[in-house]
Chain A
């Protein structure tokens, strides 16, 4: 086209409409394809991931805490249980009048108003004001009204959060067995720790959908119910435990002893009815007790038993046929053995005693002489029987902090070991081990493994008894009976503990006044006074073992531990309804 390019000024050249349309279509197509691609990506490729993410945004997961099982005594009375409680918290930024709020809270929650006010004035948006308040009190706190002019205006910024609280309805009763829990509600000591797995149960979860903070009624809900913990039923009898605990605590104070323990054991079953210690921990305030008092001394504290160990020696000698209750001994004022001089607790001339007399009078020298009748096998025999009676062996109780004590291996024996072991020095035991050793004699020579757990109550209420205790014969029935007869002499006229006798009952027992190893220096300092026995002697039902560590007003086992033994055993016989057998102990010569 060769038209002269004359264009009037001010007129634009019209664009090529076809071309423009093409470009627009291309741009739109490009944009649309982008959208389509994104759509494909959202709905096709990543669809499930995004759907899940969206659901995640709507979903709220709440932990449903499993309720902790109770710890009950043998009758099912709760010694430890869990109740609902509230933690009172505050958001200081919402508190309008810290002074008045603190004053009002202090009246209900206890504590100092100034301390609460300081918390309420602190920065941040969360302070804990009081832990584990009862729900009723928490309700009262929330209903508090600081400013009476503003009707319906309650304490702003104060909240009560649902919590659980472990309570011990019987107070410090059996605290040293039950143990206690930490702030997180998990066991730290005693049965609370030993049975943690079964007590705790398993937390559940509830999942539901929310929108704008509200729960969607039609949304999917999915709840995994918590599995509550099982209840532990102990073999402990609340009344017996209380009696034992009170008696030993009184005695420990009276004789200014460092500590004391009482163990009550059922002969036929090995069940422990009481494991009392003094000083005892209060599970409600474990922090108030020094660390040494927070466990159970009857299992954790080991000591040299002293004369109570002579019953084991007597059983060994009789079982091996080396001597009998009537075997005659001439006991000199002192004996020289292994390069050492051995004496009795009080000086005496040459005495003519039977084995029964040696036990009744608790003669160290007589015991040494008796073991010498064993001949060359003496050391092996002693070691074997001490071990068989449970010295240095685990008791079979699964309890935190339990100690097995120590029985030196034969190879480690020094020249004197073989002469101190017969009268109970040179090896160490805990009170439960000693009670168990006497239970062997009481049960006719059979060892029944001691137990503290009677069974488990599942959340559905079904009861599963603990497995039957292991039984093992240690000495013959005849040997056990002969030792029993001799032990009856101890509480008789010529014995060392006439004040352990219970009128009307045949009581067998043995005193112990042992040199005590000072835990600090490792040398001997102070005494361990003890008494272990059982009744009725001809049909034993219960063993009671009493130990007093480092008494400072008097130290003889018969005088200090004997009366505690008598009081506790009398109570056990009465409350467990064990009548006297009505027989008389056979006469037995103590001297010749």
Chain B
């Protein structure tokens, strides 16, 4: 703000003459003395900071790389796990189906087995037969077309399955008729 001074500064009283004194000067301390340590150059400090920054950056880079790498590993493993879990699930379903009563019954029939309609028990303690044994009667052959099973085909099947042959019902019947 430019407010003009209201009054002229009062004049000082005239200086009183003083006796002459020796001139004083500041004494600079000697380099290396306690009062004035040697100041190191700036360069090392700058280098230190730059070095720290560089190291930090590098560590950060490594950290990122490792994280990325690990996430790939995790992703692969997760996919692997998911695939295995899916496979397990599919196999379990297959096993469950294979063990279902109707499938077992169908396979047993395919092997020429006949269900026992009359329950009979054997008491092993006194070798008693409990119940009245009755001969199981084969149900009429299924209506679907039986597979033609030549001996060559059976041999090939034997070789393929390592001994397990699934007989078609008509083969079993033929074999039974041959027994008589």
A-to-B contact residues, CB < 8 Å: 18, 77-78, 83-84, 134-136, 139, 167, 169-171, 173, 217, 238-239, 242-243, 246, 502-505, 567, 570-571, 573-574, 577-580, 582
Contacts and interface: CB of A to CB of B under 8 A. Distances in A.
Nearest to A170: B100
A217 B74 CA distance: 14
A171 B130 contact: no
A143 to B, nearest CB: 12
Given A78-B96, A135-B86, A582-B130, 14 more contacts: A77-B99, A83-B93, A84-B89, A134-B86, A135-B82, A169-B97, A170-B101, A217-B67, A238-B101, A239-B101, A502-B119, A574-B119, A579-B123, A580-B131
Given A84-B89, A574-B119, A579 B100 contact: no
B116 interface: yes
Most buried by B among A238, A504, A582: A504
A579 B90 contact: no
Contacts of B30: none
A542 to B, nearest CB: 12
B85 A84 contact: yes
22 contacts: A18-B2, A78-B96, A83-B89, A134-B86, A136-B90, A139-B83, A169-B100, A170-B102, A171-B97, A173-B100, A239-B101, A242-B105, A246-B102, A503-B118, A503-B132, A503-B134, A504-B118, A504-B131, A570-B117, A579-B123, A579-B131, A580-B121
Interface string B61-103: 0000001000000000000001101110110010011011110
Contacts of A246: 102
Interface of B: 1-2, 67, 82-83, 85-87, 89-90, 93, 96-97, 99-102, 105, 116-121, 123, 130-132, 134
A107 B179 CA distance: 50
A504 B86 contact: no
A431 B26 CA distance: 123
Contacts of B130: 504, 579-580, 582
Given A83-B89, A502-B118, A579-B121, A169 B96 contact: yes
A574 B116 contact: yes
Given A18-B1, A580-B130, A173 B97 contact: no
A198 B36 CA distance: 85
A422 B172 CA distance: 54
A136 B134 contact: no
Contacts of B99: 77
